[in-house]
Amino acid sequence: ALPALVAGVRLNASSSGAGCWAEPELRDLRACSALAMRLLGTAAAAAAAAVESRPLPRVPAALGWQWKQANWKIYRWCSSGVIPNEKIRNIGISAHIDSGKTTLTERVLYYTGRIAKMHEVKGKDGVGAVMDSMELERQRGITIQSAATYTMWKDVNINIIDTPGHVDFTIEVERALRVLDGAILVLCAVGGVQCQTMTVNRQMKRYSVPFLTFINKLDRMGSNPARALQQMRSKLSHNAAFVQLPIGLEGDFKGIIDLIEERAIYFDGDFGQVVRYGEIPAEFRAAAADHRQELIECVANSDEQLGEMQVLSKLILAIRRATLNRSFTPVFLGSALKNKGVQPLLDAVLEYLPNPSEVQNYAILNQDDSQEKTKILMNAKRDNSHPFVGLAFKLEAGRFGQLTYVRNYQGQLKKGDTIYNTRTRKKVRDIEEVFAGDICALFGIDCASGDTFTNKDNSGLSMESIHVPDPVISIAMKPSNKNDLEKFSKGIGRFTREDPTFKVHFDTESKETIVSGMGELHLEIYAQRMEREYGCPCTTGKPKVAFRETITAPVP
């Protein structure tokens, strides 16, 4: 079994093969590693040392770095105190259905060297995108569960959570935005602002998440980024402006114009991996000058420090300040499918989105004798000078046990430490080493989504809980075979722990198990997962209603 460091969902993928591990392989690798280390002890450690002595993996030749090696071991230490907060970004990618979130994430991982080859959502090769690790996701071409990964861009560690777009899986977006520092809101250049875009916008507002906007699919027929921007202003009430302009649209989409640096950007090569800069084409210079002035005015309206001196460095800093205050939204353009506009978006993530120390997070002090809630500001220093506080925001059960995703808000957690679940007051296991600002994963922890972990001295604290919407639809569900009742109850128990919006109760009158969720698709997916993951085919239908008779009038 290869060694894996389950910290910040980071893997030490030292392999002699090309590229790096795909996400499904990573999950099995983590699980197998944890099991092997427990069973083999020092023998596993010796095997790990032997593996780590192999040559480091090659970066994809398509990136133009052939015969250069990427030191993936750097990723192992991205969570450690070696790298400061300024070198960390925790971001999510959210949007309406089919706006291109997963395709955009695939390009981000490719251009940063995290994966060796790009695959399309429901592509002809049948492989599917890396972030769609569930078989159901690859078959349907949709994201069902939020998927976490990490990558490096210009020596900055970026933790990415790709979220679903369907309203049925809105809890996945909710709990991702709860623990992230920034986000990218993806809009379709044809559809513009749609119903789920408004839902995601409300969720970002609820947790005060600064975000960038990326208008995708400029290569599609009928694309109109100007209309999408206008809808952001009218429907979402955002002070938004272009920081880029397209060079052509639909089939003529060739590149973008950077309004801040005042230059044209083209994406050459088979996969758009070669970024080329040039002069703004003559026919676009007048429009570029007008939109640049509009950008400066929008930023100046929300940032008083910009003033009359629109120096380049001052403009960038003003956009950053206004974005962090959520008083301005920079709008970027591109086409993820056609490999255009992704690298400048990555630069913007580093330039304009906050690092963990720039976001204020509060914990609530639980006092039994007081009704008032006392809020305590978390300290984002990446050391052990403050007690550990973390929030479990997502559970994922696999063949080797439950994987719990935890966001560390304060302090350090290292091997040998004991932490407590503030809800159950129980001790839990530890992991290697994580610091404030990291997103990590713990194996074998008995907890629920939204639980807070602290050290013993701080067990009275709990992080503000995640907003859970009420279910909107209910159906009756039962195993097709009566002999599968044990599998059915095991699956129901796991799904209710993973998903707070999936509710189950037994109707004593009709003798039926009633499941409730956020929509028909939501419950249909769980019925299919029950069959695939537990070998328990289920029958669903409308809940029975118990009718009653009553005496309404005396009979003579």
User: Of 144-148, 283-287, 384-388, which gets the smallest average pLDDT?
Assistant: 144-148
Helix (H) or strand (E) holding 228: helix 225-234
What is the rounded distance in angstroms from the CA atom of residue 265 to the CA atom of residue 254? 9
Half-sphere exposure of 495 (CA within 13 A, CB side): 23
The whole-number average pLDDT for the span 227-241 is 90
Does the pLDDT of residue 326 top 60, yes or no?
Answer: yes
Check whether 124 has a pLDDT greater than 80. no
> Counting runs of H as helices and runs of E as strands, what totals does the chain give?
13, 26
* Domain ranges within the chain, ordered by starting residue: 85-352, 361-463, 473-541
Q: Which of 135, 121, 159 is nearest to 24 (CA)?
A: 135
Q: What is the pLDDT of residue 273?
A: 85
DSSP 261: T
Q: Which backbone phi and psi does 444 adopt, to 5 degrees?
A: 70, 25
Mean pLDDT along residues 365-394: 78
**Residue 405: phi, psi to the nearest 5?**
-90, 130
pLDDT of 372 reads: 67
For residue 79, what pLDDT is reported?
41
Mean pLDDT of 280-291: 91
Q: What's the whole-model pTM score?
A: 0.76
For 135-158, the pLDDT digits (tens) are 676 777 777 777 788 888 888 888
**DSSP-assigned letters across all residues of 469-532:** PPP-EEEEEEESSGGGHHHHHHHHHHHHHH-TT-EEEEETTTTEEEEEESSHHHHHHHHHHHHH
**CATH number, domain 361-463, options 2.40.30.10, 3.30.450.40, 3.10.20.30, 2.50.20.10:** 2.40.30.10
Instruction: In whole angstroms, give the CA distance from residue 332 to residue 351.
Output: 13
User: How do 412-414 and 433-435 pair as beta strands?
Assistant: antiparallel
> Domain 85-352, what fold?
Rossmann fold (3.40.50)
405-414 pLDDT, tens digit per residue, is: 888 888 888 7
Topology given in CATH for the domain delimited by 473-541 = Alpha-Beta Plaits (3.30.70)
**Is 100 in contact with 129 (CB distance < 8 Å)?**
no
Read off φ and ψ for residue 524, nearest 5 degrees.
-65, -40
Q: Kind of pairing, strands 263-268 and 255-258? A: antiparallel
Q: Phi, psi (5° rounding) for residue 318?
A: -65, -40
Cα separation, 313 vs 433, whole angstroms: 37
